[in-house]
């Protein structure tokens, strides 16, 4: 079980910017955010709405899908939202999953500091939302992760940004989390 959770933790720390764009399965939506129109990405076991300005890449950096912010002039780090899925060998409570993830993050991220954690609901399932900061590959980053388990499948929705730009894109990331639907 520990090896499994270590793998999940590693995959859940998706923070690298990629190159090129892979076409994704999307469905136009009339939902709008304050800044842009959204589309729906249909993944295995879930769907999520994302701003059309985001670049979509599937099966990258261990994530099922990643949504990258537009490349801004002078950007050294490209903010992103990624979704990692993992089939668990046994039923696991979200509190136990969170405890295991937190232990791994503490060991893997330099200067790890959890800023908040709270229980939220996705559909009818209890999830855990955590926000933390640390250093990875010489970047001072800030993460928001939402952990949810349904039918022995763990889903990790991960928003990563530089510590300086996290707030700029956090409302957009929160809207994506709120649109996340388990199938």
The residue ranking higher by pLDDT, 32 or 20, is: 32
Lowest-pLDDT range of 27-36, 113-122, 162-171: 27-36
For the cut 90, the answer to whether the pLDDT of residue 122 exceeds it is yes
pLDDT value of residue 1: 52
Q: Look at residue 71 in the predicted model and tell me its pLDDT.
A: 79
**Average per-residue pLDDT for the chain:** 83
Q: What is the mean pLDDT of residues 85-93?
A: 93
**Closest to 146 in 3D by CA, of 162, 127, 132:** 127
Give strand pairing partners of 37. Answer: 32
**Residue 105 pLDDT exceeds 60:** yes
pLDDT of residue 76: 76
Over range 69-93, report the average pLDDT: 88
Q: What is the residue extent of each domain of the chain?
A: 2-182
CATH of 2-182, one of 3.30.40.230, 3.40.1000.10, 3.40.50.1820, 3.60.15.10: 3.40.1000.10
Kindly tell me if the per-residue pLDDT of 55 is higher than 90. yes
């Amino acid at each position: 079980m520990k090896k499994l959770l270590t793998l999940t933790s590693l995959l859940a720390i998706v923070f690298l910017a990629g190159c090129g764009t892979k076409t994704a399965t999307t469905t136009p939506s009339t939902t709008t955010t304050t800044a842009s129109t959204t589309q729906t990405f249909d993944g295995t076991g879930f769907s999520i709405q994302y701003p059309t300005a985001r670049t979509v890449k599937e099966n990258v950096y261990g994530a099922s899908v990643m949504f990258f912010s537009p490349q801004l002039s002078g950007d050294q780090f490209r903010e992103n939202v990624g979704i990692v899925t993992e089939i668990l060998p046994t039923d696991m409570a979200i509190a136990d999953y969170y405890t295991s993830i937190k232990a791994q993050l503490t060991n893997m991220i330099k200067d790890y500091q959890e800023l908040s954690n709270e229980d939220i609901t996705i559909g009818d399932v209890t999830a855990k939302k955590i926000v933390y900061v640390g250093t990875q590959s010489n970047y001072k980053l800030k993460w928001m992760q939402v952990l949810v388990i349904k039918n022995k499948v763990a889903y990790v929705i991960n928003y990563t940004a530089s510590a300086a730009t996290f707030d700029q894109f956090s409302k957009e990331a929160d809207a994506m989390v709120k649109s996340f639907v388990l199938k």
